Structure 1
């Protein structure tokens, strides 16, 4: 990581912290997380716990140079896959007039692509993709 640009090192450290805190939150406040899981997801409690473990594993993998790029792709895909839960959370809060306001949910939903990009940038996954030779003839 020492040969990485300073901005990428900072982005990586923040991403590790972000997913580390999120993973712990999934394991500590599991019941609150279960309430925002969309109804079509089976076994919501198990899914919340599994996603927390995935976040912790991703944060750990980001610290290991040999796993960093794979972790970046995995966390980017993960952020895409949990987007429906964020939408569901907004629907619950905004339709019942309880919970968090639009001022919280709108930025959260709009920033999801940035979180995906953050994982790809901080892990070096984008840079690694650009370095790979094209398979096209």
Structure 2
């Protein structure tokens, strides 16, 4: 393995660990200090109790964060699941913007709009840091006709 390959592998590992710790922290905040703030991201049209959604998503984030930390041999699958989770929760971020709900210091439409740009970054982070980007691209290429 070349030096640049080793450096890339170390960077991906560090990024995966940081993402895992961030998910554990966010999940813990869902269950404790930011529980009310996270309710602002539950769309008003969602057919479930907002507090229950916050609690369940918090537990899911903790589990995903732990999986990023301890399931290194399954990191590609975990990366795909984490990326899918970020896609699934994106409507909550959109709802916070559309419904103009202030939370997390996001008091203006501009601030909430800028925050929407971070979700694709999280998806890419999950895919890149776990090595899932390559297999995902290869899968899409195989499915493309011609």
TM-score range, shorter chain: 0.7 to 0.9
TM-score (norm 1): 0.79
Structure 2 counterpart of 1:30: 35
Q: Does 1:76 align with 2:80?
A: no
TM-score (norm 2): 0.75
Structure 2 counterpart of 1:17: 21
Structure 2 counterpart of 1:7: 11
> Number of matched residues?
132
Instruction: Tell me how far apart the structure 1 counterparts of residues 93 and 66 of structure 2 sit (CA, whole Å).
Output: 24
Instruction: Tell me how far apart the structure 1 counterparts of residues 101 and 50 of structure 2 sit (CA, whole Å).
Output: 21
C-alpha deviations, 1:36-81, integer Å up to 9, x for none?
3101212221111111111110111112223322221111111111
- C-alpha RMSD of the superposition: 2.8
Matched residue SS, 2:128: helix
Q: CA deviation at 1:106?
A: 2.6
Structure 1 counterpart of 2:62: 56
Instruction: Tell me how far apart the structure 1 counterparts of residues 77 and 59 of structure 2 sit (CA, whole Å).
Output: 16
Instruction: Tell me how far apart the structure 2 counterparts of residues 23 and 66 of structure 1 sit (CA, whole Å).
Output: 23
Structure 1 counterpart of 2:44: 39
Q: Is the 8 A contact 2:83 2:126 kept in 1?
A: yes
